[in-house]
Amino acid sequence: MTELQVTCMQHLLLYLPRSVRAPSPARLHACRCSCTRSAYRPEPSSTHDWVGPPNPLSNLRPIVYHIPENETELEKRLRNLRQETEDWNHNFWAKQNITFSKEKEAFIISQLKAKGLTLRDEDGRRRSLSSEEMAMFYKNFLDKNRLRHANYNKEWYRRNFTITLLMARVTLNSVWRTVSERHSSKKNGTPTS
């Protein structure tokens, strides 16, 4: 195991209930922990999008958009817009989640300090606050970010609409193309039916 993995294991074990805390060596090896992100990202296919597992920071799923052969301008525009929106979305939510966790952590520590308690109790377990105490933090977080959320909302709706309209146009275009190709191939094809 790398040093990172060992640290991970130690951290992980700290949060397990007492009954589990002292695992046998067999158990330790059994729990495989890898701290490297699987950087696997499939190549864009020409027919279908690839949808990946949710990102741990933003909880959004990355998509590798398909690049059709003879991609039209419209399709390219759609693909770029979707990719850009996905990145923008990911950034917003990753930032949101990280900020939330950081501020929550800081709040818990400050509240515990005000009570004169340490972060961990005698067993080494983290203390947590009651849901009423946490409610103060949740309210504060929402109020602080109100404008930011409202702006995100507006922007997200606008992008969502644009993407859907573009998708509709692309679909209609490709249907029209297929129909007209079939029609023209029928005309130029077999003379007798």
Partner 1 sequence: MHRREPSNWLTYQHLNFLKRQVSFTGSCISCNWFDGTHKPQTEFSHLKPTAENAAVQNVSASRKAGSPDEPPHVQVETEEEKQARLDRQWKQLKVDRADLPDIYARLSKIKLTALVVTTAAAGFAMAPVPFDPIIFFVSSLGTGLASCAANSINQYFEMPFDSNMNRTKNRPLVRGQISPLHAVSFALACGVPGVALLTLAVNPLTGFLGALNIFLYTCCYTPLKRLSITNTWVGAVVGAIPPVMGWTAATGCLEPGALLLGGFLYSWQFPHFNALSWNLREDYSRGGYRMMSVTHPTMCKRVALRHSLGLIGLSTLAPVLDVTTWTFPIISLPINLYISYLAFRFYHKGDRSSARKLFFCSLWHLPMLLLLALTCKKYSRNQEGATLPAASLPLTLPAN
- The smaller minimum CB distance to partner 1, of residues 31 and 179, is found at 31
105, β-bridge pairs: none
> Token pair of 178, please?
């297929």
Quick check: 75 and 164 in contact, CB under 8 A?
A: no
- The smaller minimum CB distance to partner 1, of residues 26 and 114, is found at 26
CB of 94 to partner 1, least distance (A): 8
Rounded Cα distance between 49 and 75, Å, is 13
CB of 191 to partner 1, least distance (A): 37
Residue with tokens 């818990």: 108
Rounded Cα distance between 51 and 55, Å, is 11
- The smaller minimum CB distance to partner 1, of residues 17 and 191, is found at 17
Rounded Cα distance between 190 and 162, Å, is 42
CB of 183 to partner 1, least distance (A): 25
- The smaller minimum CB distance to partner 1, of residues 151 and 185, is found at 151
CB of 189 to partner 1, least distance (A): 30
